[in-house]
Amino acid sequence: MKKLILGLALTAGTFAFAQQTGNTSTNPVSFGVKGGMNVSSLSKDSGLDDQKSKIGFNAGVFANIPLAASFSVQPEVQYSQYGNKSDYTLAGTKYSASTKLDYITVPVMFQYNLIPNLYVEAGPEFGFMVSAKNKFKNESSGQSNTTDNYKDNLNTFNFGIGLGAGYYFTPNLGLTARYVAGLTDVAKDRPSGSDAVRNNLFQVGLAYKFK
C-alpha cells in the first residue's frame, strides 16, 4: 500500500509540475484513453525446460502535458497483464504452465516529437501487482488445475524502463508501441545463488486523445 501511495503521489506530482511548466507551451494539456495487446515473457528460469510468450491486454488513461514545442511528458495509469507460458518436467512427467500476473501500472513517459504526428518516448514504469495465478496441465493425462491468487508469495512491486514510439493518424487517434524491460525480481524470497526472474513486455495498441 505504501508503494501504491508513493507511485500515485509521484504521478500527481508529475502532473502538477508538468502542467505548471507546460503553461509556457502553445499546446494545451490533452487527456485520453488507450488500450491494446500485451506480449509478455519472463527472463530465463533454469528450472523450466522451455519458456514462451503470453498474450494479454492493457487498458488505461493518460494525460499528455507539453513542456516545449516538441517535448512532453505523459503520465499514465493502466491495467496491464504480464506473465508467460512454460514447459517443465517433474518426476519424469511433462507439464505445461501459464502464469498470469496482473498489475496496475503507472508509466511516466517523456516524449519527443520527431515530426508533429510521430514521437519517440522513454521513461520509468511503476507496477503494483493485483493478481497472480498459474494454470498447470499434465501433458500425459490432459488434466489441468488452476491455482488461487498467490501474489503474497511474490514481489508485488515491479519497476521497469519503457521505450516506445507512436504515430497519430488524426489529431485524436494514434497507434502506439512500447517495450518495457523489468528491473526487479518477480520472486519475493529468491534462493541464494539463483538468477533473478524479471518481467519483459511488448505493447501495441491504440490511443485516443480528447480534444
Q: What percent of the chain has pLDDT over 70?
A: 81
- Which residue would you say has higher pLDDT here, 93 or 100? 100
**Does residue 139 surpass a pLDDT of 70?**
no
Q: Mind spelling out the 3-state secondary structure of the chain?
A: CHHHHHHHHHHHHHHHHHHHHHCCCCCCCEEEEEEEEEEEEECCCCCCCEEECEEEEEEEEEEEEECCCCEEEEEEEEEEEEEEEEEEEECCEEEEEEEEEEEEEEEEEEEEEEECCEEEEEEEEEEEEEEEEEEEEECCCCCEEECCCCHHHECCEEEEEEEEEEEECCCCEEEEEEEEEECCCCECCCCCCCCCCCEEEEEEEEEEEEC
Q: Rounded mean pLDDT of 130-135?
A: 90
136 — pLDDT class (breaks 50, 70, 90):
confident
User: What is residue 45's predicted lDDT score, i.e. its pLDDT?
Assistant: 62
pLDDT digits (tens, 9 = 90+) for 153-192: 899 999 999 999 999 999 999 999 999 999 999 988 877 7
User: What is residue 97's predicted lDDT score, i.e. its pLDDT?
Assistant: 80
pLDDT digits (tens, 9 = 90+) for 24-82: 456 789 999 999 999 999 887 655 556 788 999 999 999 999 999 899 999 999 999 99
